[in-house]
Structure 1
C-alpha cells in the first residue's frame, strides 16, 4: 500500500479513521488523548476491533490526562482491560503535561490518526507513512515514560 494522508474535520470521519488505523494494526497500538473520549472506546465496533487485534497478539498502550470519562462511560473498554490485561496498559500523565492538547493513535509505527487539538475534530490520518508517525511516536514515548499506571483491571489493581 502506498503512503497516503486523509484529512478529516467531523467526529464521524475521525472515528472512521480511528477504526481504519486499528484494523491496520498488526502488533502495537499507542493512543494518547486527554480523556480518551474521542476514540469511542465504549462502542461495540471499537470493542470488536480491539478484541480482534488483541486476539492476534497485539499490544495496546493508552496514555491520558484523566481516566474519569472512560471509568464512567466505557464499561466495555474496562472489560477489555480485564480480559486482556496481559496485553493492555493505561497510564495517566503527570500534572506538568496536562497542557498537551493533541490526540493521536499510532499503529505499528506505520499508521497514525491524529487530531491537532483535542477541542476540535480537525485532523489527519496517515497510512503506510513512517515519517508521519515519527513525531507522534516520540511524543507518545515521552508522555508514557513520565506517566503512572491507571485504569487497573480490578479494584485492587491486580
Structure 2
C-alpha cells in the first residue's frame, strides 16, 4: 500500500481513523493523550479491536496525565487490562510533562493518528508512512521514559 495522509477536523473522523489504526496494528500500539476521554476505550468496538490485537500477541503502551476518565467511563478497558495485563503497560506522566497537549496513536511504527491539540479534533492520519513517524516515535519514547507507573487491573491511578 502507498503512503496515505488524511487530514481531519471532526470527532467522527478522528474515531474513524483511530479505529482503522487499531485494526491495522499487529505488533505494537503506542498511545499518548492527556486523559483518553474521547478515545472510546470503553466501547464494544474498541474492546473487540484491542482484544484481537492482544490475543495475537500485540503489545500496548499508553501514557496519560490523568486516568479518571478511563476509570469512570471505560469498564471494558479495565477488564481488558485485567485479562491482558502482561501485554499492556500504562504510565502516568510526571508533573514536568503535564503541559503536553497533543494526542496520538502509533501502530507498528508505520501508522499514526494524531491530533495537534487534545482540546480540538484537527489532526491527521498517516498510513504506511514510517518516515513520517520518526519525530512522534522519539517524542513517545521521551514521554515514556519520563513517566511512571499508572493504571493497573486491581488499582487506579493512570
Gaps of 5+ in 2: none
Cα-to-partner distance string for 1:89-126 (whole Å, 9 max, x where unaligned):
10000011011000000001000000000010000000
TM-score, L = length of structure 2 = 0.96
Runs of 4+ with >3 A deviation:
none
Tell me how far 1:146 sits from its aligned partner: 0.7
- The answer as to 2:9 corresponding to 1:9 is yes
Residues paired across the two proteins, number: 157
Partner residue in 2 for 1:74:
74
Q: How far did residue 133 of structure 1 move?
A: 1.2
Partners of 2:25 and 2:106 in 1: CA distance: 9
Deviations 1:43-98 (A, max 9, x none): 11100000001111100000001111111111110000000001001000001101
Cα distance between partner residues in 2 of 1:130 and 1:116: 18
Structure 1 unaligned segments of length 5 or more: list them.
none
- 1:42-57 equivalent positions in 2, closer than 5 A: 42-57=42-57
Distance 1:60 1:78 in 2: 14
Separation of aligned partners in 2, 1:156 and 1:72: 10
- In the alignment, what sits opposite 1:93? 93
Take 1:56 and 1:76, find their aligned partners in 2: how far apart are those partners? Answer: 19
Q: State the superposition RMSD in angstroms.
A: 1.3
Aligned to 1:25: 25
